[in-house]
Structure 1
Amino acid sequence: MHPTEKVVRQFHESWDLRDPERGAAVIAEDCDFEDIARGEKLPGKQAYKADYNRWREAFPDGLCKVENVIVSQCGEWATVEFRNTGTHTGVLRSSLGDFQPTGRRAEVRYCSVMRVRDGKVVEGRDYYDSVTIVRQLGLME
């Protein structure tokens, strides 16, 4: 396995393992990460942990399954396709507002584009459809 793939898998699989420290271990202190759907910057380890806790609050049983990792020829960039599933039993704090628990399950496909240097994620972006989430939770028709 390419070292870049190993790093991005550790980042994503830490969600499934419920181990935010494991994920934070591969994030550079000055990491420039952005959640495109929310239009939110998530700089560094602390922002990652806050985002992890926000999602874990909304979906305590949430799982993250990596489906595909493509590493660029230069070896610095990786594209990660993954699927998040979970039951909405906690408050979901999102760019569309805060939503009280619905008890419904959601399954959403994501794509992350990440740059890795010296074993750390230094830049990245998450792409997903937030409307799919709120529709599955019955919050929008």
Structure 2
Amino acid sequence: MKNILQALVLVPVMAGVTVAQAAVPPKQVVESYMKAWNQHNPNQAASYFAKDGVFYDAAVGTPQKGQEAARDNVISVFINAVPNLKWEMTSTPIESKDGISFQWRFTGDNTGAWSKDTPATNKPINFEGVSFVRVKNDKIVYQGDYYDSATLNKQLGW
């Protein structure tokens, strides 16, 4: 029996058939994604999103559809507004084969404008939230962020 199993594994390889590698675990994808945020690199962070991925920020309420929208309307906004940001996982994540959820803390100083109509406050921020992330083919296809926007707004003086 052992020889039959070995033959079944070796035949496709010897025949030139490409064997698919195991997918990157969602936690590893998210850790790399968060590292890009913490390196203040919106293009790198967005590269972890699927082209048609969805980023949902519950405080805003409008899903951002697509990799470019996630980069331009969420990731870049936060990185530009809080150029020294630090985003860290603060809980042991709950993982499945295609997703991960975890608590996090976001800290930094708001020294950049949030938009042309919302200038920097030059105040420190420190707030917590939870993310639900679904991963397919090593890319984020959905990220839902739920956080304490009342505390964030108070810290910013809004």
TM-score bracket relative to the smaller structure: 0.7 to 0.9
Matches of 2:140 and 2:61, distance apart in 1: 19
SS of residue in 2 equivalent to 1:78: strand
Matches of 2:50 and 2:42, distance apart in 1: 14
Matches of 2:43 and 2:120, distance apart in 1: 26
Aligned partner of 1:87 in structure 2 is 109
Contact 1:4-1:76 at 8 Å conserved across structures? yes
Contact 1:8-1:80 at 8 Å conserved across structures? no
Aligned partner of 2:45 in structure 1 is 23
Q: 1:120 to 1:56 in 2, by over 3 A?
A: same
Q: 1:90 to 1:25 in 2, by over 3 A?
A: closer
1:138 partnered with 2:143:
no
Shift of 1:37: 1.1
- Identity among equivalent positions (%) equals 30
**AA matched with 2:132:** V
Q: TM-score, normalised by structure 1?
A: 0.84
Question: Which residue among 112, 118, 123 is the counterpart of 1:104?
Answer: 123
Any idea what the Cα deviations from partners look like across 1:30-67, whole Å, max 9, x if unmatched? 11221111102111211121122111221111111122
Matches of 2:59 and 2:112, distance apart in 1: 20
Q: 1:105 to 1:26 in 2, by over 3 A?
A: same
Q: TM-score, normalised by structure 2?
A: 0.76
SS of residue in 1 equivalent to 2:152: helix
If you compute each CA radius of gyration, which structure gives the higher value, 1 or 2? Answer: 2
Q: 1:132 to 1:81 in 2, by over 3 A?
A: same
Any idea what the Cα deviations from partners look like across 1:64-99, whole Å, max 9, x if unmatched? 112232203xx1121022211111112224xxxx43
Matches within 5 A, 1:1-141: 3-50=25-72, 51-68=74-91, 69-72=93-96, 75-93=97-115, 98-139=117-158
More strand by share: 1
Matches of 1:11 and 1:122, distance apart in 2: 13
| Residue correspondences, number | 133
Any idea what the Cα deviations from partners look like across 1:89-120, whole Å, max 9, x if unmatched? 12224xxxx43222210101121101111111
Matches of 1:88 and 1:30, distance apart in 2: 30
* Cα RMSD for the two superposed structures: 1.9
SS of residue in 2 equivalent to 1:14: helix
